[in-house]
Amino acid sequence: MINYTHVMKARTHGADAGTRTDDAPLTGYGPDTSAMASTDMASLDDVPEPEDFCIAPEGAAPEVGPDQVDEFIEAWRLERPDLDLGTLGALGCFARMKWLTKNLAAMAEQVMRRHGLNAGEFDVLAALRRSGPRCTLIPSQLSALLMMSRAGMTNRLDRLEAAGLVERALDPADRRSFRVRLTDKGRAVIDAAVTEHAQLVNRLDAVLSPDQRASLDEALRALLRAFP
């Protein structure tokens, strides 16, 4: 199952550079105590984002004829005939990967909104749900799994606990720490959200043959292993 926050936009801040900070809730479970609300963090939102190396259209591609990526590649071919055709073809593949990822992220966000969650809250509930029959972890484990700061995790847990989706109790093995577990309500919410998203993914996957799916998976693995 997709870790949604990893395909959504993430920012870093403060002493925990390299880890993700908390993201603003979508459903208003309570006051947002996140560092994202700070003046310093707000100033980052005013900084324009860098231009992407290739376009990422929205929605479905046309069933017949060229799509936006074809037009993008053709424009570069005309203006830069010195560029290798193979390289331009690869650029088209990467642009379509971005297009697909953008659509998947939009689908995921819609599912989460329908179940009263944002991406960060979903990730916490999903991590607890797949952790085993007790659906219980300690905050440091959650922080490590989701690659985020302890402060950001505390903010998420505060909101989820206020919404009745998780509960915290002292760890009998270490009275300085807490255990976080899904409530019955939290389990029902995350199960419903995961089931709905799985149905959407299955609908998309149905357009691929088993051989196409296997080839796509193998190609993506090879590309990911090419990064330093």
Q: Divide the 228 residues of the chain into consecutive groups of 10 and give the mean pLDDT of each group.
A: 43 39 45 36 40 62 82 92 92 91 92 96 97 94 94 94 96 83 98 96 94 96 94
Sequential DSSP letters for the chain: ---HHHHS-----GGGTTSB-----SS--S----GGGSHHHHHHTTSPPPPPSS----SPPPSSS--HHHHHHHHHHHH-TTS-HHHHHHHHHHHHHHHHHHHHHHHHHHHHHHTT--HHHHHHHHHHHTT-TT-EE-HHHHHHHHTB-HHHHHHHHHHHHHTTSEEEEEETTEEEEEEEEE-HHHHHHHHHHHHHHHHHHHHHHTTS-HHHHHHHHHHHHHHHHT--
Q: Do residues 57 and 68 make contact, with C-beta atoms less than 8 angstroms apart?
A: yes
pTM score of the predicted model: 0.70
Q: What is the pLDDT of residue 157?
A: 96
Q: Do residues 5 and 112 make contact, with C-beta atoms less than 8 angstroms apart?
A: no
Q: What is the pLDDT of residue 174?
A: 77
